[in-house]
Amino acid sequence: MSTVLVTGATGFIAQHTIVQLLDAGFRVRGTVRSRKRAEYLREVLARHTDQADQLELEQADLTSDDGWDEAVAGCECVIHMASPLPNKPPKDENEVIVPARDGALRVLKAAANAGVRRVVMTSSVAAVIYGHARDGSRSYDEQDWSILGEGVGAYEKSKTIAEKAAWDFVESLPEDGRFEFCTINPGLVLGPVLDRDFSTSGEVVRKLMRREMPGCPDVGWAVVDVRDVAKAHVTALTEARAVGQRFVVAIEHTSMLDIANILSEQFRGRGYKVPTRRLPDWLLRVVGVFDKTAKLAVPELGKRQDLSNARARDVLGFQPRSLREMVVDMGETMIAEGAL
């Protein structure tokens, strides 16, 4: 029963990953920014695994050196998931970029000092596709990196800069002191929520089910089920071929209208009037003035996220769930958890 550190333990992906790790027989240590969240997290996880007593929690924050050496001590592996995910555009992009980059380096330095065997870091397709022509003319993969020019948002910059900083740090370590390293780059993460406090990525389903959007703008994402993302992280801990690799984990490009149609078909008989008409681009821009989460989608109008998951299928055995399953399960669990 080796011990795995999972940073950002309260996160949407992290909760699912912790459950899978515990059920697989690992001991898990998670980090939380505040101990006030620790007991609540234990209660949430105890509803989804019988092994919650094998979880311990430590306080550590991406913006401070305090606590990271203690958190990593005695761990064989680290899954670094903690990273800012804003639900509205920040006033200053460095509010997102600096903690993502510096926090990753704090975790990796602590891992190196503790002699950790392997680190798996959660990145994003945001570090792969932005700044490129996303018009459907080609598919992007792990060889591609986002180009951080004009029009690339703070979150996309933060994931790209943090991942590049991590690879550079690992490369700078002496060979006899270098841990094994890889990254997981998921798309927009959907699937079942474990409690009512879920990631910004779930906002598309929540807003559609609450009819907070008058219709569906021409935006879309490469989506993926949270359970499949968690499994990719767990597999990457032990798969020898994962070392030194990036892994795109997402399915094909999916429009907001595709998601809305599934939700409408599944839930309209239960009183959820999901909007399924196409929204003109100008109207999203107007909505974005008042709804800061919607404003995040404005730069995505008319753009596609076409990516290859061939490497994840080959190395990690990635077998993604269908769009319908992840969308329906997210809607059902949001209802069950009172998130709507």
Mean pLDDT to the nearest integer, 177-201: 92
In eight-state DSSP terms, residue 127 is G
- The length of the chain is 340
Question: What does residue 220 show for φ and ψ, rounded to 5 degrees?
Answer: -165, 175
Longest CA span, the chain = 61
From the number of C-beta atoms within 10 Å of its C-beta (0-12, 13-18, 19+), residue 36 rates as: exposed
Amino acid at 125: V
Mean pLDDT score of the chain: 93
Q: What is the pTM of this model?
A: 0.94
Please, which pLDDT band fits residue 1 given cuts at 50, 70 and 90? low
The residue-averaged pLDDT of 286-307 equals 82
Domains of the chain, each with CATH number or no CATH: 3-336 (3.40.50.720)
Calculate the alpha carbon distances from 88 to 259, 317, 323 in Å.
Answer: 21, 35, 26
Phi, psi of 67 (to 5 degrees): 95, -15
Residue with tokens 């841990």: 179
Radius of gyration, CA atoms only, the chain: 19
Within 10 Å of residue 128's Cβ, how many Cβ atoms? 27
Sheet holding 77-80, edge to edge: 55-59, 27-32, 3-6, 77-80, 118-122, 180-186, 246-249
Average pLDDT for residues 76-100, to the nearest whole number?
90
Please tell me which of 258-267, 272-281, 291-300 the model is most confident about, judged by mean pLDDT. 258-267
How far is 141 from 153, CA to CA, in rounded Å?
20
